[in-house]
Amino acid sequence: MTRMVTVGAAQMGPNALVESRKAVVQRLIVLLEQGARHGCDLVVFPELALTTFFPRWYFESQDDVDAFFERSMPSLHTRPLFEASKKLGVGFYLGYAELTEEDGHTRRFNTSILVDASGQIVGKYRKVHLPGHAEHEPWRQFQHLEKRYFETGNLGFPVFRAFGGIVGMAICNDRRWPETYRVMGLQGVEMILIGYNTPVHNPPAPEHDNLSHFHNELVMQAGAYQNGSWVVGVGKGGCEEGVDQIGNSVVIAPSGEIVSACTTLGDELAIARCDLDLTQSYKSSVFNFAKHREPASYTLIVERKGAVISV
Ligand code: CDV
């Protein structure tokens, strides 16, 4: 028996600073409804999908920053999305800024949730690899202050039994790090959902700009293949508050092949029928971890001619 999950990569065009949460959620519902009409079980939205990508600005006041955060989920403005999910029988992945009280402190995370087809939250992930910088850097064309506005995620890389398989989540910059996929791969992950906000221009290394699509696809295709997992990568596209975003949303099979892709830079759904059993072909052969991984060798310190060459 095959285990099919029909997934929609719900790319978003830009979110303007002035666009209300209510208006953004309405766009998400339209994409969810499109997904339902095409038989989707699950629709994946981008990172920080409810607002503009606010870490591109330096704010003096914490109140101004906190205005971008959700204090509960569902929140007042996202409740209609949960209701639509339940009514349509379509689950979703949603990225948002989370403000919470934990261990007696106010804490802020760049978070994603997994919601099942009955509109219930069944998984949460908090971004681990925060890119950018913590101090204002006026030389940049735009800021990337994730290290100022968020704490490093404290949930690790959990996987969840959902949609008939084993599902994991990551957020944006996490996708560039092999550990992200491997930690979930070691837990048997079959589908990894990743939302992103990736500018075409990278201020510290503008020489990478014309490789932004190549690098986006390279890391996710490698992560999928090397762990025998589906990967669903979903971005924002178009010019958001003066910053061009790559879009480039794709669904990748465990073979590493892209099987569905958005072709615009706006709100668009790319759909794929994903057979979770395809993962077995890789997990039981080339990437049979129990048989072929050599963890003891990975911790060896190799010294050659006095130089430490690997740890
Ligand atoms: N939101 C992100 O994590 N963006 C990074 C940028 C800074 C390169 C990314 O990896 O796409």
- SS (HEC) of the chain: CCCEEEEEEEEECCCCCCCCHHHHHHHHHHHHHHHHHCCCCEEECCCCCCCCCHHHCCCCCHHHHHCCCECCCCCCCCHHHHHHHHHHCCEEEEEEEEEEEECCEEEEEEEEEEECCCCCEEEEEECCCCCCCCCCCCCCCCCCCHHHHCCCCCCCCCEEEECCEEEEEEEHHHHHCHHHHHHHHCCCCCEEEEEECCECCCCCCHHHHHHHHHHHHHHHHHHHHHHCCEEEEEEEEEEECCEEEECCCEEECCCCCEEEECCCCCCEEEEEEEECCHHHHHHCCCCCHHHHCCHHHHCCCEEECCEEEEC
pLDDT for res 126: 99
Q: Is the pLDDT of residue 307 over 90?
A: no
Nearest CA to ligand 1 atom 8: 198
Which atom of ligand 1 is the closest one to the Cα of 172? 3
95 pLDDT higher than 50: yes
pLDDT of residue 188: 98
pLDDT tens, 194-249? 999 999 999 999 999 999 999 999 999 999 999 999 999 999 999 999 999 999 99
Taking the alpha carbons of 131, 100, 111, 21 in that order, is the dihedral positive or negative?
A: negative
Pocket lining: 203 vs ligand 1, CB cutoff 6 Å: no
Q: How many A from CA of 174 to the centre of ligand 1?
A: 8
Cβ of 80 closer than 6 Å to ligand 1, yes or no, is no
Q: Percent of the chain having pLDDT more than 90? A: 95
The answer to whether residue 309 scores a pLDDT higher than 80 is no
Average pLDDT over residues 150-171: 98
Q: Is the pLDDT of residue 10 over 50?
A: yes
Specify the pLDDT at position 227. 98
* 95 close to 112: Cβ distance less than 8 angstroms: yes
131 pocket-lining for ligand 1 (C-beta < 6 Å): yes
Catalytic residues: 47, 127, 172
Ligand 1: residue of 48, 126, 171, 173 to mutate (most ligand atoms within 8 A of CB) is 173
pLDDT category, 304, cuts 50, 70, 90? low
Contact 280, 1 (CB under 8 A): no
Is the shortest distance between the CB of 215 and ligand 1 below 6 Å?
no
Task: Select 4-310's CATH number: 3.40.50.970, 1.20.1050.10, 3.60.110.10, 3.40.50.720.
Answer: 3.60.110.10
Is residue 310 pLDDT above 60, yes or no? Answer: no
- State yes or no: pLDDT of 281 exceeds 80: yes
Q: How confident is the model at residue 160 (pLDDT cuts 50, 70, 90)?
A: very high
What are the tens digits of pLDDT across the range 246-275?
A: 999 999 999 999 999 999 999 999 999 999
Instruction: For ligand 1, say whether the CB of 227 is within 6 Å of any of its atoms.
Output: no
Backbone Cα Rg of the chain? 19
Convert the pLDDT of each residue in 31-82 to its tens digit: 999 999 999 999 999 999 999 999 999 999 999 999 999 999 999 999 999 9
Q: Which atom of ligand 1 is nearest to the CA of 53?
A: 1
User: Which atom of ligand 1 has the smallest separation from the CA of 48?
Assistant: 1
Quick one: pLDDT at residue 306? 60
Pocket test for ligand 1, best of 140, 175, 196, 245 (most atoms within 8 A of CB): 196
- Return the ligand 1 atom nearest residue 132 CA: 7
Predicted model pTM: 0.97
pLDDT of residue 311: 47
Q: What type of residue is 295?
A: P
- Smallest CA-to-CA distance from 165 within 89, 256, 279 is with 279
Q: Which of 197, 200, 208, 215 to mutate to test the pocket of ligand 1 (most atoms within 8 A of CB)?
A: 197
Pocket lining: 198 vs ligand 1, CB cutoff 6 Å: yes
Ligand 1 pocket, 172 CB below 6 A?
Answer: yes
Residue 305 confidence (pLDDT) above 70: no
pLDDT of 300 strictly over 90: no
Residue 310 burial (C-beta neighbours within 10 Å; 0-12, 13-18, 19+): exposed
pLDDT of residue 262: 98
Q: Tell me the C-alpha to C-alpha distance, in Å, between residue 93 and each of 31, 112, 239.
A: 12, 7, 23
Distance 130 CA to ligand 1 centre (A): 8
54 Cβ inside 6 Å of ligand 1: no
Q: Is the CB of 115 under 6 A from ligand 1?
A: no
pLDDT on residue 296:
92
